[in-house]
Structure 1
Amino acid sequence: MSEENLASAFNQNNAPFAKMMGVTMTLVTKERIEGELLVTPDHCTIPATLHGGAIMAFADNMGGIGAFMNMPQGFMTTTIESKTNFLRAIPVGQTAKAVTTPVNLGRTLQVWKTDVFREDGKLAAVVTQTQLVRQPKES
């Protein structure tokens, strides 16, 4: 039995910054997160290609969703480390596609890897991030 795809729920309730960027989730399960981002001029650097910070923000959102999917109910997550390798540019007008998978799912630390692809299927960036999982502070 395969896991339910929760992409629709995350598209409705995604983080405000991810919504502002235009991130669309296409697959959300505990073991795999997939999303897309149409590269607009507002996402670009000079020349008109997807800005490195936009790639990192896209991947950070994906890893955060992965951590959320794999932590106890009521817990919180935050990124404590992120590393990006930029391999190829993604031109304006293309749709960047990201695939996020777990590297390690520990009780308090999770490591996620996001591969970001251009429309031609070539790998544009690899982002590895560590998510801290913690109980919310009591008021």
Structure 2
Amino acid sequence: MQNPADAMPLARLFGVEVPQFDREKVTGTMTVREDLCTAGNHVHGGALMAFADSLAAIGAYLNLPEKNTGTTTVESKTNFLGKAESGTVLTGTATPVSIGKRLTVWQTRIEDQDQRPIAVVMQTQMFL
């Protein structure tokens, strides 16, 4: 699998690249574009949430129990910590907090290219 985000239409639309991924850590990048920004030229919170959701979903999928066929997000909480303007390259790192039989919880840290925190997302995925 080259870029697992290619299997997700929204992640493709946002330009998410996932060069590193395994069952314990998923790292991806997204360049903030003008069309992903608010009127103030700062990345929209929904774009950050979708970026984090994509990375955690990949991690959950990689931990999919044999009998299950997919995952879905059942809860997500985002703390917005900083702003990122158009042209900023964001890096998201998703790591599991808990992997159970039906649910998996992931934390995703999003930083800019200067390693300043932009957002932290806690998310629960359910195995389908």
SS where residue 37 of structure 1 aligns?
strand
Q: Give RMSD over aligned pairs.
A: 1.2
SS where residue 42 of structure 1 aligns?
helix
Please state if 1:17 is matched with 2:10.
yes
| 1:53 paired residue number | 46
Structure 1 alignment gaps of length 5 or more: 1-5, 135-139
Please state if 1:82 is matched with 2:105.
no
State the TM-score, normalizing by the size of structure 1: 0.87
Cα drift, residue 9 of structure 1: 4.3
Larger Rg: 1
Structure 2 alignment gaps of length 5 or more: none
| 2:22 paired residue number | 29
**Amino acid across the alignment from 2:84:** I
**Amino acid across the alignment from 1:83:** K
Cα drift, residue 91 of structure 1: 1.1
4+ runs of 1 displaced by more than 6 Å? none
Q: 2:107 aligns with which of 110, 113, 117?
A: 113
SS where residue 113 of structure 2 aligns?
coil
State the TM-score, normalizing by the size of structure 2: 0.94
**Which structure's relative contact order is higher, taking Cα pairs within 8 Å and 6+ residues apart?**
2
